[in-house]
Amino acid sequence: MNKTIFITGGAGFIGSHVVREFVNKYPDYHIVNVDALTYAGNLENLRDVERKSNYSFVKQDIRDAAGVSALFEKHQPDGVIHLAAESHVDRSIVAPTDFVLTNVLGTVNLLNAARETWKDKPEGKRFHHVSTDEVYGTLGETGLFTEDTPYDPHSPYSASKASSDHFVRAYQDTYDLPVVITNCSNNYGPNHFPEKLIPLCILNVLNEKPLPIYGDGKYTRDWLFVVDHARAIDLVFHQGKNGESYNIGGFNEWQNIDLVKELCKQMDEKLGRASGTAEKLITYVKDRPGHDLRYAIDATKINTELGYTPSVTFEEGLSHTIDWFLNNRQWLENVASGDYQHYYEEQYGE
């Protein structure tokens, strides 16, 4: 093994795809998945890689500074790809402090441990902080977020991610910690936890339950297939420049209502139901407080500097995602029932 890489939040939705990408592509790296296994962490996401010799899992809460330091001391990682976070906007509205503790304090604990571990030899080391386009706030009807767009977060989630981004930059400027930041648009794909719009709608179409649309449904998001996010992280981790931020997106904007209608159309076809069946489940509900109108990423920098383009169109990615959920009903049932949380005990023991 020529490098040890920590991937925090590797049991989550995006993290599990990043772990898979790295474990399969870099047999010479030792990939250590560092995750507290909150409600969003699910080791079943990683069944296909968990027995590979270059993969290990460590249950560790990043809010615990001493535990994080001890882990760095033990493994002496060469790189950190930091995804562990509280990630759901609606939960942040209900319990904002949880977001400060994990997203801000947890990030600072990792930064402190990396700084201490790398202080004598920072060359070749890298702290890659995975962030969101939501830090830029909201767009009106036109325009795109570039890397120079001023931060203007509105939800407790985006405020906590913006704060963590600032700390990452501060550690570069103050302590010369080698860092990169990526700010990605909304992801979708296999293993997505069904609290977010797309997997929630897939689950509810299957169970013939209402599809809740906040407000008038005209809110716009820019969607990227999760595997394409993992590919972009690989590219920036290896080829990005220290101290830089890179926006990741696929120029793929959808109003929520149009997206849900496309999802309904595809699901009716795949389930052999009459056209228009799923759409009847669409139900307009009370709006989210402080709901950002529109997110849209200008991905020119990562495209021109690193040659990045997404590999699938939205229609292809959505079709693949629906197929995955239809073929993995047990995963969905385990998540819906909470059974997935026993997997760690069965697999690793307490």
From the list ligand NAD, ligand TYD, none, partner contacted by residue 221 (C-beta under 5 to 8 A by kind): ligand TYD
Per CB under 6 A, 186 contacts ligand TYD: yes
CA distance 102 to 67: 14
- Angle 68-245-79 from CA coordinates, rounded to 5°: 35
Of the candidates 83, 110, 144, 260, which one interacts with ligand NAD according to CB under 6 A? 83
Of the candidates 5, 19, 23, 36, which one interacts with ligand NAD according to CB under 6 A? 36
Question: Scanning residues 144 to 173, which ones bind ligand NAD (CB under 6 A)?
Answer: 161
In this structure, are residues 188 and 317 in contact, taking their beta carbons and an 8 Å threshold?
yes
From the list ligand NAD, ligand TYD, none, partner contacted by residue 106 (C-beta under 5 to 8 A by kind): ligand NAD
Per-state percent for the chain, helix, strand, coil, to nearest 5? 45, 20, 35
Mark 66-105 with x for binding to ligand TYD (rule: CB under 6 A) and - for no binding.
-----------------------x----------------
CA distance 313 to 11: 26
Q: Which of 21, 35, 86, 133 is catalytic?
A: 133
Residue 344 bears catalytic tag:
no
Per CB under 6 A, 12 contacts ligand NAD: yes
CA trace torsion 158, 164, 166, 169 (10° rounding): -140
Contacts 24+ apart (CB under 8 A), 277-280: 278/205, 278/211
From the list ligand NAD, ligand TYD, none, partner contacted by residue 61 (C-beta under 5 to 8 A by kind): ligand NAD
Q: How many CB atoms lie within 10 A of CB 97?
A: 10
CA distance 323 to 148: 38
In this structure, are residues 1 and 54 in contact, taking their beta carbons and an 8 Å threshold?
yes
Where do runs of H (alpha helix) occur along 220-313? 226-239, 256-271, 300-306
Residue 234 bears catalytic tag:
no
In this structure, are residues 82 and 106 in contact, taking their beta carbons and an 8 Å threshold?
no
Per CB under 6 A, 256 contacts ligand TYD: yes
Per CB under 6 A, 84 contacts ligand NAD: yes
Of the candidates 58, 65, 93, 200, which one interacts with ligand TYD according to CB under 6 A? 200
How far is residue 88 from each of residues 68, 103, 178, 246, 261, measured CA to CA in Å?
24, 12, 28, 22, 23
Per CB under 6 A, 137 contacts ligand NAD: no
In this structure, are residues 161 and 88 in contact, taking their beta carbons and an 8 Å threshold?
no
Rounded least distance, CB 156 to ligand TYD, Å = 12
What is the identity of the amino acid at 185?
Answer: S
Mark 274-293 with x for binding to ligand TYD (rule: CB under 6 A) and - for no binding.
--------------x-----
In this structure, are residues 92 and 44 in contact, taking their beta carbons and an 8 Å threshold?
no
CA distance 315 to 196: 18
Rounded least distance, CB 86 to ligand NAD, Å = 6
* Nearer residue to ligand NAD within complex by CB, 182 or 266: 182
From the list ligand TYD, ligand NAD, none, partner contacted by residue 41 (C-beta under 5 to 8 A by kind): ligand NAD
Per CB under 6 A, 193 contacts ligand NAD: yes
Rounded least distance, CB 264 to ligand TYD, Å = 14
Beta bridge partners of 3: 29
Q: Which of 21, 78, 86, 134 is catalytic?
A: 134
Residue 133 bears catalytic tag:
yes
Rounded least distance, CB 41 to ligand NAD, Å = 3
Decide the pairing of beta strands 282-285 and 211-214: parallel
User: What is the contact surface with ligand NAD in residues (CB under 6 A)?
Assistant: 9, 11-15, 35-38, 40-41, 61-63, 83-87, 102, 106, 130, 132, 161, 184, 186-187, 193
Binding site for ligand TYD (CB under 6 A): 89, 186, 196-197, 200, 212-214, 219, 221, 256, 288
